[in-house]
Amino acid sequence: MPQRRLSTAGVDYDIPGSYLNAAEAAGIPPVQNPEEAAIYRHESLEQSKSRDQDYLRRQQSHQDGSHGRAGAEPVVTAEDQTKDFEISRLATQIYTISYLILFSILGTLARLGLQALTYYPGAPVPFSSVWPNFAGSLVMGFLAEDRMLFRHEWGTPTHDPQITKAHQAHRVDEETGDSSSTGDELDLAAAKKAHMVTKKTIPLYIGLATGFCGSFTSFSSFIRDVFLALSNDMPTPKLESTTMPRNGGYSFMAVLAVIITTVSLSLSGLFIGAHLAIALEPITPSLPFILTRKIVDRIAVFFAWGSWLGAVLLSILPPDRFTLPGASEVWRGCATFSLVFAPLGCLLRFYVSMYLNGRKASFPLGTFAVNMFGTAVLGTAWDIAHVPDGGVVGCQVLQGIEDGFCGCLTTVSTWVAELAALRRLRAYVYGVASVGTGLALMVAIMGGLRWSQGFAGLVCVK
């Protein structure tokens, strides 16, 4: 497996090259011409994959001419490596896994909290899963387009000097009336691409993009709402919920409403987040290199595993168990079981996408696989929870699997980022295949129970 040992400022991770294929970390900036330059070169996801692999091969070969090229990071000599604080591959993977655990828990809490805030009587959009998908895509767009948070990269910035050089050349051109900055624009574009490749291999960025954004959004919940719209079982936040019968035409329009609203808002969130990153670039702070690599990484390990252990303990002994005699235990059904299962779904998505997304650039197989598998698991858990038999704890566990495991295993932020990056025809094929296959799975799994004996009410309080 290719590995990467690059740094000239004190910390040297040993990062597998396959990290570039992982979920959200494999995306490309949604806005590829933020300066609105005269020369605009659009790069598709297929081209990005090829460029990333070429970049790693160049870094491995340690070619002599790479020092002076635009967008290329300095090659580390043996003398440099003896000065650096080297982090083994095992430690690098521990940091990455810890960030994924921590941010999957935070992303799950954000998703459940936003769903609760947007699910109320008279809500303009009755299916609350759309808002976490919008918000998570917005954060994903910001992270993908941002070039300031991880400006120091591996200790030697490559993007900032090119920006300064290009801006100076642009001011000179404006004063002289010349337009000879084409080469500088190309240098700046190359530096941005190199910065993006570098950023995708930093454990903290992987945690934010793959861990938080992927767990904040949920493809399986989106497909579940599509099926509930089809079967006229969409729960509505009314004091007296009644479902009126309707014909197939209305159900078809309901399905279109859920799909169009979710996909459109999620894509809009992706681009709004990217535009925010561009607008806020002058005031966005940069994460200190030494602080994040030598201190924050280590602290995150304790916070991540401690939070996961805390969720397990809260599920075993919920705080509301002994408060009032006969009172219902609502903590486990609302959040704690979800937090127990959330890291498992996030880690599975990370490794599946890492090993499958690079196989076919025109069709992200890893993202497709986890979205379909998570959708099938959610449909199965929904069916088991909505049969008349079963206890309260079992129902709460199933709710935790749906919101935690399936919610973090499946992702909309990655999906819409890939739709925006793929070439037009391939994007439509990928999008239709994802929604169509997911809905077919739900019809086969949830439809069997719905149209045979119907959904029973939940025996647990959520």
pLDDT at 58: 59
The HSE-up count of residue 384 (CA atoms within 13 Å, CB side) is 19
Does a structural domain hold residue 275?
yes
213 close to 144: Cβ distance less than 8 angstroms: no
Does a structural domain hold residue 217?
yes
Does a structural domain hold residue 460?
no
- Report the pLDDT averaged over residues 374-386: 94
Of 5-19, 123-137, 242-256, minimum mean pLDDT range: 5-19
- Cα gap 446→386, rounded to integer Å: 10
pLDDT at 328: 61
State the pLDDT confidence band at 142, using cuts at 50, 70 and 90. Answer: very high
Mean per-residue pLDDT over the chain, rounded: 79
**Residue 315 vs residue 327, higher pLDDT:** 315
pLDDT at 402: 94
- Report the pLDDT averaged over residues 159-174: 62
**Residue 411 vs residue 76, higher pLDDT:** 411
- Cα gap 448→379, rounded to integer Å: 11
Of 163-167, 231-235, 446-450, minimum mean pLDDT range: 163-167
pLDDT at 351: 92
**Residue 216 vs residue 53, higher pLDDT:** 216
Q: Is the per-residue pLDDT at 303 higher than 50? A: yes
- Cα gap 202→153, rounded to integer Å: 8
pLDDT at 304: 96
- Report the pLDDT averaged over residues 114-118: 91
- Report the pLDDT averaged over residues 418-444: 94
- Report the pLDDT averaged over residues 292-303: 90
190: closest CA among 69, 58, 42, 64? 69
144 close to 278: Cβ distance less than 8 angstroms: no
- What proportion of the chain, given as a percentage, has pLDDT over 70? 67
**Residue 223 vs residue 323, higher pLDDT:** 223
Instruction: List, for residues 262-297, the tens digit of each pLDDT value.
Output: 999 999 999 999 999 999 988 999 888 788 888 899
- Cα gap 417→17, rounded to integer Å: 21
End-to-end CA distance of the chain: 45
Q: Is the per-residue pLDDT at 67 higher than 80? A: no
pLDDT at 171: 59
**Count: domains in the chain:** 1
Q: Is the per-residue pLDDT at 401 higher than 60? A: yes
Q: Is the per-residue pLDDT at 387 higher than 50? A: yes
**Residue 56 vs residue 306, higher pLDDT:** 306
- Report the pLDDT averaged over residues 239-267: 82
Q: What is the pTM of this model?
A: 0.84
pLDDT at 71: 39
Q: Is the per-residue pLDDT at 40 higher than 60? A: no
Does a structural domain hold residue 76?
no
- Cα gap 47→406, rounded to integer Å: 31
- Report the pLDDT averaged over residues 72-101: 65
- Report the pLDDT averaged over residues 173-182: 54
Q: Which residues pair with 4 in a beta bridge?
A: 15
Q: Is the per-residue pLDDT at 407 higher than 90? A: yes
Q: What is the DSSP string of 99-114?
A: HHHHHHHHHHHHHHHH
Q: Is the per-residue pLDDT at 189 higher than 90? A: no
Q: Is the per-residue pLDDT at 106 higher than 90? A: yes
The most confident of the ranges 6-20, 81-95, 320-334, 437-451 is: 437-451
Does a structural domain hold residue 74?
no
pLDDT at 38: 55
pLDDT at 220: 94
State the pLDDT confidence band at 78, using cuts at 50, 70 and 90. Answer: very low
45: closest CA among 364, 430, 372? 364
Tokens of 26: 């494999």
Does a structural domain hold residue 213?
yes
Q: Is the per-residue pLDDT at 92 higher than 80? A: yes
pLDDT at 150: 85
Does a structural domain hold residue 462?
no
- Cα gap 328→322, rounded to integer Å: 10
pLDDT at 159: 63
- What proportion of the chain, given as a percentage, has pLDDT over 90? 41
pLDDT at 346: 95
- Report the pLDDT averaged over residues 186-215: 80
Q: Is the per-residue pLDDT at 83 higher than 50? A: no
Does a structural domain hold residue 92?
yes
Q: What is the domain extent for residue 266?
A: 3-62+85-450
